[in-house]
Amino acid sequence: MSTIQSSAMRATTTLSETTDDDGLATSVVRRTLLPSGLRIVTEQMAGVRSASIGVWVGVGSADEDETLHGCSHFLEHVLFKGTGTRSAMDISVALDAVGGEFNAFTAKEYTCFHARVLDVDLDLAVDVLGDMITDSTITAEDVEAERDVILDEIAMHDDDPDDVVHNLFAAQAYGEHTALGRPIAGTVESITALTRDQVAQFHRVHYRPATIVVSVAGNVEHDRVVELVEAAFARNGFLDRVESPVSRLGEGTLSPVHPGTATTRRPFEQVNLVLGMEGIARNDPRRFALSILSTALGGGTSSRLFQEVRERRGLAYSVYAFASHHADSGLVGVSVGCLPAKQDEVLVVVREQLALVARDGITAEELERGKGQLRGGLVLGLEDSGSRMARLGKSELVHDRLLTLDEVLAHIDGVSLEDVASVAAEIFSRPEVLAVVGPS
């Protein structure tokens, strides 16, 4: 089927080329848009023998109404169960035999199937992934077996205090009956109710070339990857339509965030707390200032929260700040686990620290340290083909455009003390969302 894609119809662009000190090209990023709307982005890296591949599908739990709750994640599981020509065992054997890492995950706005293999095994990995996406059988029997596995996975998440408190925080912030407020894996009720036909229909509607980005990084050659993808995704005429690619850039209307406190009583030893407020959407230009703010507040052992909560007062082993982003919304917050007797003091200290940065921003020293920390983390991450692959796939699917690494570094370097102070003053003065999970 791939023969109908004439190469004249493909649009291929070189997006960036990085040269190291010795004048050698160490990374080349190229993008091809197929007529069907499927996008292929590759980054050729010097000095590695591996390749990481991700198939990013622009669908997740945010696309589910209440009757379909958990369907994106259910489908992700079922696609491993077999295709027209491969059993579940064949799929497993193919990648286990070459030692590749092979997995998938479902988020609120996308689903990703990914593998890391030696470069010589890339053909196999692309073929298996294309087969799973385009020729899955989705039988009633497989749906039943996987339903039990997912119910067990939900029980496992339910035993994880960190998962419980973050799900509760999202439910309080967005409302437990909204798509963003519900847990990605679904509930016992919603998973029990989903039918084979709903899962298969969800696949037909949402797994289209126009919603898919294939990203590959490592010792790979772009034109060869395009050929492999065209062959692997051609099954069942999957690439035969002509469509424009669909990204998840949001509609510009922010989802409302509801302040308030939600508590769940669970017989854990620790109390787990998430205290936060509305943040910013994914493509908001203030995201670089927010990263530096979040780093200074609770992003390392030199951060204010680590120093005040753990080093000075010994109140908790784990404390950190986070910022999560969606197309049309975002949250910021602080996550802490502590002994029940320390809960009140922890909340006092965390609120004090948030109020302090809301009033005074951060210091020049913290700004420089935050920049160093983000810069170092980015550059260290470059040696890993998996993190380059993820950057490409996510950029193409959920960001307005792919920034080169130099552009990202320039954005970080460009953040001023005033930028951080202004985002801190705005966000940390917003009304509080608090989730508490613990024994009393």
Find the shortest distance in angstroms from Cβ 335 to a copy of itself. Answer: 12
Q: To 10 degrees, what angle do helices 140-158 and 196-206 make?
A: 90
Nearest distance from residue 45's CB to a copy of itself, in Å? 9
C-alpha distances in Å from residue 91, one per residue of 94, 96, 124, 179, 228: 5, 9, 10, 32, 18
CB 382 within 8 A of CB 348: no
Which residues partner with 275 through β-bridges? 334, 434
Nearer to a copy of itself, 165 or 226 (CB): 165
- Check binding of 196 to a copy of itself (CB under 8 A): no
Q: Which parts of 145-249 are beta strand (E)?
A: 212-218
147 binds a copy of itself (CB under 8 A): yes
Nearer to a copy of itself, 201 or 307 (CB): 307
Only one of the segments 7-15, 81-89, 240-248, 395-403 lies at the binding site for a copy of itself (rule: CB under 8 A); that segment is 81-89
Interface residue with a copy of itself, options 86, 108, 116, 248 (CB under 8 A): 116
Measured CA to CA in angstroms, residue 365 lies from 260, 295, 329, 369, 372 at distances of 34, 13, 30, 6, 11
Name which position in 235, 282, 286, 310 contacts a copy of itself (CB under 8 A): 310
Q: How far is the CB of 58 from a copy of itself (least distance, A)?
A: 26
Strand arrangement, sheet containing 50-57: 11-19, 25-33, 39-45, 212-218, 50-57, 111-118, 101-106
Contact between 281 and 303 under an 8 Å Cβ cutoff? The reply is: no
Stretch that binds a copy of itself, among 33-41, 68-76, 98-106, 324-332 (CB under 8 A): 98-106
Residue type present at position 159: D
Most distant CA atoms of the chain, gap in Å = 68
66, 159, 413, 426: which one contacts a copy of itself (CB under 8 A)? Answer: 159
Under the binding rule (CB under 8 A), the answer on residue 316 touching a copy of itself is yes
DSSP state of 109: S
Q: Is 76 one of the annotated active-site residues of the chain?
A: yes
Asked if 50 is part of the footprint of a copy of itself (rule: CB under 8 A), the reply reads: yes
Question: Is 413 one of the binding residues for a copy of itself (CB under 8 A)?
Answer: no
Do 223 and 125 touch, CB atoms closer than 8 A?
no
Does the footprint of a copy of itself cover residue 434 (CB under 8 A)? Answer: no
Site for a copy of itself in 260-279 (CB under 8 A): 267-270
* Residue 116 main-chain phi, psi, to 5 deg: -130, 125
User: Is-contact 420 289, C-beta < 8 A?
Assistant: yes
The closest alpha carbon to 217, from 114, 67, 340, belongs to: 114
DSSP state letter for 307: I
The structure tokens 């196999």 sit at: 124
Task: Find the binder of a copy of itself among 306, 329, 335, 420 (CB under 8 A).
Answer: 306
Residues numbered 332 to 391 that lie near a copy of itself (CB under 8 A) are 337-339, 342, 368-369, 372-380, 383-385
Alpha helices in 221-320 (DSSP H): 222-232, 287-298, 304-305
Distance CA 19, CA 29 (A): 12
Instruction: Take residue 254 and report the two structure tokens written for it.
Output: 């922010």
8 binds a copy of itself (CB under 8 A): no
Among the listed residues 273, 315, 357, 390, the single contact to a copy of itself using CB under 8 A: 315
Smallest distance from the beta carbon of 12 to a copy of itself, in angstroms? 27
For position 406 contacting a copy of itself by CB under 8 A, the verdict is no
Which residue type is seen at 154?
Answer: I
311 binds a copy of itself (CB under 8 A): yes
For residue 183, state whether it binds a copy of itself (rule: CB under 8 A).
no
Q: How many chain residues bind a copy of itself (CB under 8 A)?
A: 76
Q: Which of 17, 43, 64, 76 is catalytic?
A: 76
What's the CA gap between 72 and 202, in Å, rounded?
8
Smallest gap from residue 51 Cβ to a copy of itself (A): 10
Least distance CB 218 / a copy of itself (angstroms)? 9
Q: Which CB atom, from 142 or from 419, has the smaller least distance to a copy of itself?
A: 142
One of 93, 140, 348, 355 touching a copy of itself (CB under 8 A): 93
Q: What is the dihedral of CA 62, 63, 68, 72, to 10 degrees?
A: -80
Contact map string, positions 224 to 263, toward a copy of itself, x by CB under 8 A: ----------------------------------------
Q: Is 133 in the site for a copy of itself (CB under 8 A)?
A: no
CB atoms within 10 A of CB 178: 16
187 touches a copy of itself (CB under 8 A): no
Catalytically active residues are 76
